[in-house]
A = this chain, B = another copy of it.
């Protein structure tokens, strides 16, 4: 018998996208899924609806230099052209049969515009709960559960996992929803394909009756190589993927039982939360006082009513450069490339080269990551220690830990393409309809040359249009604003000239994004 998916049982045309194949290569062999009949209550669509909660708070330190503090890996186009967050949003937006498409994102205040951008690009409506400080997954998930209605089915999932088969993912989650009650927490475990030491494991009792969700014997932390082999040999283990499904009140009850202090701080911070369009801001002081704990430690390892659903599709936590490399097809010498990489007498080498040619000559078991302003070369054995590199550069005060050369802004981005004594050059892109703040600078003049699209320039009392191959000049101290009135992106070259060129030389008089008091 062939596998029967949820989609095939409800061929009403409303979920066409869910059956789209994935063109990404399969790094793991896909196991045949069990064939089951799904119980589905067509009269109770509301309670079958799922509100996805996308956890966007990861730091992604192990993927430096592509992932940086102000632009962690979930926002980066690591696989293909879309960011992991956008891929995640597009995947979870297809979970419901009803028109319910809205998601809750939990993210750092620092990354709010990156999340808004991803929501926009994926065409998903969302609310973004902004963590004033990072307090790990227990607090992040609690914020979302407090924000939702008590009986809402919530699917918590990290923003930075790679799960190319959306149809298989949808089927898995929809199959599990029938198991939900006011107490159970369902976790999804990936059927392991290798004795990996990179993941924690979930142990199940031997299979009994044929339920979608099975009991959890225990959670096992990342093992060493020997233990990993033992676990695979013993069977009945899954990789802990950190994906959870439960009703909001089930999580809150579990938090009350196992981590009441965290629940209390979250509740107090949400009671006075400020709402600003799609952003919800829990109170900073109250939330900051919250204990930082993972949901595994805080709840899952102690909770009695946890069940696990196996997932045997392609899955990666994209947790290291080895994991990224393994998502790319290898040539006959085991070499893999993303971008402009070249191999001569090399083997088992991965090159990430988005912006210029990178050549590996005679290398073995090597990872080479090029970015416009920093290069990392590491052996495959050392990829887990990339965080040491970040720590070392941070100790040396290098900005490359926090920022890319190209910086995202709510209105678009800028790329610092050159700099010298008393000048710097930026390429600036403004999205259609977007505006920079009305601003002035005390220490720099600016020359603007439009190279693509149309700019509406406010300079002092004047407002005028500039198109491709036109330019203007903003003297020091002059109030100005740049707006894109068009339907296509505006790009321009800005040459700054002056004695001080720091981003913080800005006086914002008006801003569409609430950044009046921000100094960069």
Which residues of A are at the interface with B, using a C-beta cutoff of 8 A?
65, 342, 344-345, 353, 356-364, 366, 368, 370, 373-379, 381-382, 385-386, 388-389, 392-393, 396, 398, 400, 415, 417-418, 420-423, 425, 427, 445, 447, 449, 451-452, 468-469, 471, 473, 491, 493, 495, 497-498
Task: State whether B495 touches A344 (Cβ < 8 A).
Answer: no
- Interface pairs A-B: 5 shortest CB-CB: A362-B382, A361-B378, A423-B451, A469-B497, A362-B379
Instruction: Tell me, in angstroms, the Cα distance from A421 to B363 when the chains sit together.
Output: 36
- Chain B residues contacting A353 (CB-CB under 8 Å) are 375
Q: Oligomeric state, in number of copies?
A: 2
Instruction: Tell me, in angstroms, the Cα distance from A345 to B385 when the chains sit together.
Output: 9
- Chain B residues contacting A65 (CB-CB under 8 Å) are 359
Instruction: Tell me, in angstroms, the Cα distance from A386 to B421 when the chains sit together.
Output: 36
Task: State whether B357 touches A398 (Cβ < 8 A).
Answer: yes
Residue picked from A361, A382, A445, A452, most chain B C-beta under 10 Å: A361
Task: State whether A359 touches B418 (Cβ < 8 A).
Answer: no
Residue in B366, B381, B386 whose beta carbon sits within 8 Å of that of A377 in the complex:
B366
Task: State whether A468 touches B497 (Cβ < 8 A).
Answer: yes
- Asked whether A359 and B377 contact (CB < 8 A) given A342-B392, A423-B452, the answer is yes
- Asked whether A375 and B375 contact (CB < 8 A) given A385-B345, A421-B452, the answer is yes
- Asked whether A469 and B451 contact (CB < 8 A) given A359-B376, A359-B377, the answer is no
Residue in B357, B468, B495 whose beta carbon sits within 8 Å of that of A449 in the complex:
B495
Task: State whether A445 touches B469 (Cβ < 8 A).
Answer: yes
- Chain B residues contacting A362 (CB-CB under 8 Å) are 378-379, 381-382, 385
Instruction: Tell me, in angstroms, the Cα distance from A445 to B378 when the chains sit together.
Output: 45
Nearest B residue to A418 by beta-carbon distance?
B417
Residue in B344, B377, B471, B498 whose beta carbon sits within 8 Å of that of A361 in the complex:
B377
Instruction: Tell me, in angstroms, the Cα distance from A356 to B393 when the chains sit together.
Output: 13
- Chain B residues contacting A345 (CB-CB under 8 Å) are 382, 385, 388
Nearest B residue to A476 by beta-carbon distance?
B469
Task: State whether A425 touches B425 (Cβ < 8 A).
Answer: yes
- Chain B residues contacting A445 (CB-CB under 8 Å) are 469
Instruction: Tell me, in angstroms, the Cα distance from A452 to B420 when the chains sit together.
Output: 9
Task: State whether A377 touches B358 (Cβ < 8 A).
Answer: yes
Q: List 23 A-B contacts (CB under 8 A).
A: A344-B389, A356-B374, A357-B393, A357-B398, A358-B377, A359-B374, A359-B375, A359-B377, A361-B376, A361-B386, A361-B388, A362-B382, A362-B385, A363-B379, A370-B375, A417-B417, A418-B425, A420-B451, A422-B451, A425-B427, A451-B495, A468-B497, A471-B471
Given A362-B378, A417-B418, 12 further pairs, Cβ under 8 A: A356-B374, A357-B374, A359-B374, A359-B375, A359-B377, A360-B377, A363-B377, A418-B493, A420-B427, A420-B491, A447-B449, A469-B498
Residue picked from A345, A353, A473, most chain B C-beta under 10 Å: A345
